[in-house]
Each structure stands twice: as C-alpha cells, then as structure tokens.
Amino acid sequence: MKKKIVSLLFLCLVMLAVIACTDKEEPESTPEPAKEMLTVMSYNIHIANPPSKGEGFVDIEAIANAINKEKPDLVALQEVDKFTTRSGTSLDQAKEIATLTGMKYFFAKAINRSDGEYGVAILSKFSIENSKVFSLPVKTTGAELRALGLIETSLPNGKKIVFASTHLDHLSDENRELQVREVIKALIPYQDRPVILGGDFNMAPQNAIWNVVREQFVLGCKTCPSTFPATSPNTTIDYLLLNKQAAAYFTIKDYYAVPERYASDHVPIVMKIEY
C-alpha cells in the first residue's frame, strides 16, 4: 500500500512538471524593423538649357519632369542659375524646380555670373535643418571657382544625415585634386554621421584622383554608367558617393543613369539605398 502511495505521488509530480513545462511561454522574438528605401539623384542641369535648342532657351519644366519621373527624396543639382541675364533675370532656377517637384531647396553660389549668380543646389523632400556653402579654389588662371553645398536633414526614422552637391573644375587635374581635398576638409566636421555626396566630378573612374576620394568615400557604382553627353553617353563624370558612416548604415540596392536625352547635356543618375 505504501509503495502504491509513493508511486502515485511520484506520478503526480511528473504530471505537474509536464504541465508546468507545457504552460511555460516561449520567449517572444524581437521583430526586425521594417526596411525603408531612400532614393537620391545627382543631375547637372546645364542651366536648364536643352542643347538641341541652342543658347538662351530655358526649359525648367523639362528638368522638373525628369526629376519627377524618378521620385527622388534628395537631389544634387549642378550648373544652376539664379537671376542671370542668360537664363532670366527673374528666374531663380533652384526655387522654380523645387516648386515644380514639391520639394524644399538650398542654392549654393559658386560665382557671380551674367549679372546674377551661378552654382549648385539641393532639393529635399525632408526638412532642411541646416545648410552651408563652401568655396572650392583653383590653381590655374582662367578657371572658375566652384562650390560645395550641403544640407543637414533627418530621415523619417529620425536618423540625421548630410546630403551634399558639388561641381569640380573641368580644365585640369591640378584644380580637381585641390578641390577634392577641400571637399574632404569641409566635410570633416560631419564625418560622425552618414554623408551622401552627389556631383559632376569632371573625371572618369580611372582618374588617379579617385585614390584621394576613396580615403573618405565609397563610390555608389562599381561599373559606373556613362553620363555624358546626354544624346549618346560615352563617358562617366557624374557620381553619387557615400562616406564610411553612410556605407555602413545604407545598403546600395540600385544605381543607374536615367535615359533623359533632351533636358540637359548630362543624364541624371539615381541611387537607391536601403536602411
């Protein structure tokens, strides 16, 4: 009898242990945050002058249409006029393109030109929290000063990033190398956060100056698409770049040239990056 009681007690204990294990909730796994896509563009707009129309003709709508088709979040523009006699004394090109694309804008003057201003610009779907312009010097006589314009903004998830636009000298490697070093120097205060840089660098991927650029930046393209001339592109001079922080934070999902042949003498380039 005593043995039966002990056996029953043992059986009860085993059953209780099984029930306890069954009722124990499995720890919930933390779901991975949803991925978002950021679309960035760089576009040398040739002061909104379609080459096929000759000097003096301006088609801002064509530039805006090329941008709207790609629906970018951020755009780096080069060769932008503001109140010039050659493009229109009442025309602020960056502002007008921003209006037609529904984006915010920042214009960064490089030089005075045609009784107005000429430089680079940035369009943004996000709020522009801060903006700055840096002048890029030249060494050779007859070369134009160039500019680096940048904005600080935040992604929808709150991550703060820097987006910049530049246009390097077209005459000599001597000027381009000097300007590249100035761009890197200007961006040092922002190196603790992701920086995306778009621009017309006026040099092919094989140029030795890229070795200087690669000290701080990663090219968005491995086999870079041709971007100039727009009618039949056969050389690459326009690029989108990521600094080391951006390269670690974003994943490049696509990078391509847009086949827009009319609006400018360059084609736009687009990079889609995931975060």
Q: Give the span between the Cα atoms of 154 and 189, in whole angstroms.
A: 17
C-beta separation of 43 from 266 below 8 A: yes
C-beta separation of 212 from 181 below 8 A: yes
The pTM is what?
A: 0.88
Beta partners for residue 218, in sequence order: 242
Render 104-124 in DSSP notation, one character per residue. EEEEEEEEEETTEEEEEEEEE
Is residue 203 pLDDT above 80, yes or no?
yes
Sign of CA dihedral 44, 47, 52, 58: positive
Q: Please report how many Cα atoms fall inside a 13 Å half-sphere around the Cα of residue 172, on the Cβ side.
A: 12
Over residues 204-217, the pLDDT tens digits come to 999 999 999 999 99
**Residue 51 DSSP SS3:** helix
**What pLDDT is attached to residue 28?**
61
**What pLDDT is attached to residue 12?**
45
Q: Give the span between the Cα atoms of 226 and 169, in whole angstroms.
A: 19
**What pLDDT is attached to residue 141?**
87
Which residue type is seen at 171? Answer: L
Over residues 44-70, the pLDDT tens digits come to 999 999 999 999 999 999 999 999 999
Sign of CA dihedral 91, 89, 121, 268: positive
**Residue 53 DSSP SS3:** helix
Distance of CA 175 to the CA centre of its chain: 24
Which residue type is seen at 161? Answer: I
Is residue 8 pLDDT above 90, yes or no?
no
Counting beta carbons within 10 angstroms of the beta carbon of residue 61, is it exposed (0 to 12), middle (13 to 18) or buried (19 or more)? middle
Q: Give the span between the Cα atoms of 148 and 135, in whole angstroms.
A: 6
Q: Give the span between the Cα atoms of 103 and 127, in whole angstroms.
A: 9
Which pLDDT band, with edges at 50, 70 and 90, does 14 fall under? very low
Q: Give the span between the Cα atoms of 5 and 273, in whole angstroms.
A: 70
Q: Give the span between the Cα atoms of 241 and 212, in whole angstroms.
A: 13
**What pLDDT is attached to residue 30?**
66
Please state whether 41 falls in left (phi above 0), alpha (psi between -120 and 50) or beta.
beta
Which residue type is seen at 108? Answer: A
**What pLDDT is attached to residue 126?**
98
Please state whether 161 falls in left (phi above 0), alpha (psi between -120 and 50) or beta.
beta
